Chains A and B, each alone.
Chain A
Amino acid sequence: MTVTRLTVRALLLRRRSLALLLPVSSVLFFVGLAIVRGDVVPDIQAIIVGRLLVTTVAPLVALVLAVTAIGDERESGTIVYLATARISRLRIAAEKTLAAAICTAILLSPALIAIVILGNHLGVGTDNILRGLAGTLLVATVYVAVFVTVGLLLRRALVAGILYILVWEGAIATIAPSAERFSMTAWGRAITDSGIYGLTPDLVPTLAATTGVIALVVATVLAVVLAGWRLGRMDLP
C-alpha cells in the first residue's frame, strides 16, 4: 500500500486541499441553521444530505482530490518512480483511487459528523443516519474513481468534472426522472433517502437502495479498471 500512503500524505500536505473545507462548511452551515430554527421536517434530511452533500459537496471534493492524485505526480515527475516499479499500472490506479477516497472521506468528515447530529435532531432513526453516511462515502468513492479516470483521459479534467457535476448531476439528473438511471448522485440518493418516511413526493428516490449500491460498486470497479488500462497504455513524462 505504499502508493496509497505516499498519495494520502501528498494530498493532505497540499495547502490547496484545505480550501476544499469551504464547500464542506456549507453543510455545517445549513445543518446549524436547521437546528437553530428548530425544523423537524424529514425533507430537511433529504435536502441537506441528498441534494447538497451527495449531489454537490462530495462530488466537488472528490473531483479535486482525484484529479490531483495523479495530476500532481505527473506534473512533479514523481510518477516515474511508481511507473518504473514492479507493481502493475492497474494497481497504481487502484491505490490512487483508494488514497483519494480516503482523503475525500477525511475532508468530508466534518460534514459527516454534522449529518449525524442533524439525523438525531430530526429523529430519522439510526438506520437512516447510517444510510446517509454510507451513501455519501459510496458516492464520493465512485466520483473519485471516475475522475481519476477522466484525469487520465482529458487534459482539462477539472473543468470537465465541474461542468458534469453542475450541469448533468446538479441540473438535468435532478429535474428529469428518466436521467436518474444514469446519475451517480441519484444512485447515492437512492441509498441516503429511500428509507426516510414522510418525504414530499419530489424528494422520494425513484431507484431502490439496492440498485444504488450495485450501480455505485459496479461503476467504481469499471472506472478503476479503465484507469489502469489507460495508465498502462499512456506514455509518461
Chain B
Amino acid sequence: MTPLLEFDRVSKWFRDTVAVGDVSFAIEPGVTGLLGHNGAGKSTAIRLATGLAGPDEGSIRVLGLDPRRSGTARAAIGLVPDGDGLWPGLTALGLVVSCARLRGVSAPQEAARRALKTVDLLDVADRDVKGFSQGMRQRVKIAQALVHDPQVLILDEPLNGLDPQQRETTIALLRDLGNQGIATLFSSHVLTEVERVADRVLVLVNGRLVAEGSPQGLRELMDERPRRIQVVTTNARAMAAGLAGLPGVVSVEVTDDGVLIETRDATSLARTLPELAVATNAQLRSVEPTDENLESVYGYLTERARGTRR
C-alpha cells in the first residue's frame, strides 16, 4: 500500500548547514510526533513534506506523488504553519471559506462551518480574526487545514505560545483527529506533550532522524541510558572508592566539590549513597542529576545512532 507521506533519504542544505540529512520515514493514519530541539530540522522537514521547499537529495511522496509538482498531493495535506500570520480584514468564516476555495472544495461555506465546528469556533465564526486570542487563532489555523478533509494533517509546533487550558484543548483535538483516522504529524520540542498525543515518535537531532517508535519505547530507551549524577560531599575520594564497585555504576570521577557518577541504575544508587556516606564518614550536601534535560536525551540518542555509545 502506498504510504500517505513518505520521506526517502531526504537531505536539505542551507549553504554549509545540513538542515535535514538522509532522513527516511513514512506516516500512516494516527498521530505521529516529530520531536526535536529548536534548529533540529523539524520545520524544514514540514516545509519539505508540504512542498514549500524542495529537497536537495532524496524524494518526498504524498500518496505516491511529489507535493511540489502535484496539486493532488497538496490537496491531500492540511498544514497548520508555525507562523501567526492570517490575512487581514477577514472573519473566521471568511478566512476558512477562502482556504476552502483555494483547495477546490465544492461547497466552501458548508465545509468551512463544519471545520469551525470541529475546532469549536462556530459561535464566533462571524467575528474578525484580528480580535482573536492566540488560542483561537491557532484553532482557526487548524480549521483552515481541515476544511478540505485532508488525509494528512501537518502541524508545526501547534502548542507554542498557548496557555495551559488552550494546550489541553488543542491536545484533545489532536487526539480526536488521530482517532478519526487522519494521519497527523505534529512537531514539538517538548517530550511530555508528544507522549500525551502521539502513537509514534520521530526524533530529529541536528537534521538527522536518530530514533523512531512508540513514546513508550522512547521513554524506556531514556530510562536505560546511563545517568550522570553530581554528588557534592565532604569526602569525595572515599566516596568515589566506595562507588566504583557498585552494580550499574559505569564511571566515577572526583571533581572539585564532590563526585560525578555515571550509572545505569539510578534507583539503586539513590539507596546506596546514604549508606556509603555513613560508612565513609562523609556529609552529602547535594545529589543532582546533570543530564535530565531533553538536550542530553537527544545527545544520547545521537551518539547511540552513530554507534559511539552502547
* Shortest CB distance A176–B (Å): 42
What is the bound-complex CA distance between A138 and B27, given in angstroms? 50
> Which A1-55 residues have C-beta < 8 A from chain B?
2-3, 5-6, 9-10, 13
In the complex, chain B residues whose CB is within 8 Å of the CB of A5: 98
Contacts A10-B88, A76-B85, A78-B87; A83 near B71 (Cβ below 8 A): no
What is the bound-complex CA distance between A87 and B51, given in angstroms? 13
Among A13, A80, A86, contact of B52 (Cβ-Cβ < 8 Å): A80
Among B51, B79, B101, contact of A2 (Cβ-Cβ < 8 Å): B101
Interface status of A125 (Cβ within 8 A of chain B)? no
**Contact yes or no, A77 B74, CB < 8 A:** no
What is the bound-complex CA distance between A85 and B90, given in angstroms? 19
Interface status of B86 (Cβ within 8 A of chain A)? yes
| Residue interface mask B68-110, A partner, CB < 8 A = 1 | 0001101101010101111111100000001101111000000
In the complex, chain B residues whose CB is within 8 Å of the CB of A235: 47, 52-54
**Contact yes or no, B102 A83, CB < 8 A:** no
What is the bound-complex CA distance between A128 and B86, given in angstroms? 44
What is the bound-complex CA distance between A211 and B249, given in angstroms? 87
Interface status of A82 (Cβ within 8 A of chain B)? yes
Residues of A in contact (CB 8 Å), total 23
What is the bound-complex CA distance between A3 and B85, given in angstroms? 16
Among B83, B88, B101, B144, contact of A77 (Cβ-Cβ < 8 Å): B83
Interface status of B206 (Cβ within 8 A of chain A)? no
Among A13, A77, A80, A237, contact of B89 (Cβ-Cβ < 8 Å): A13
In the complex, chain A residues whose CB is within 8 Å of the CB of B90: 9
In the complex, chain A residues whose CB is within 8 Å of the CB of B138: none
**Contact yes or no, B87 A86, CB < 8 A:** no
**Contact yes or no, B101 A9, CB < 8 A:** no
In the complex, chain B residues whose CB is within 8 Å of the CB of A78: 85-87
Interface status of B50 (Cβ within 8 A of chain A)? yes
Among residues of B, the one whose C-beta sits closest to the C-beta of A6 is B87
Among residues of A, the one whose C-beta sits closest to the C-beta of B104 is A86
* Shortest CB distance B128–A (Å): 12
Among residues of B, the one whose C-beta sits closest to the C-beta of A233 is B54
Among residues of B, the one whose C-beta sits closest to the C-beta of A74 is B85
In the complex, chain A residues whose CB is within 8 Å of the CB of B101: 2
Contacts A85-B74, A235-B52; A77 near B84 (Cβ below 8 A): yes
Residue numbers of B with Cβ under 8 A of A are 47, 50-54, 71-72, 74-75, 77, 79, 81, 83-90, 98-99, 101-104, 144
Instruction: Show 21 A/B contacts (Cβ-Cβ < 8 Å), sorted by A.
Output: A2-B98, A2-B102, A5-B98, A10-B87, A10-B88, A10-B89, A76-B83, A77-B83, A77-B84, A77-B85, A78-B85, A78-B86, A81-B81, A83-B52, A84-B77, A85-B74, A85-B75, A86-B102, A87-B71, A236-B47, A237-B47
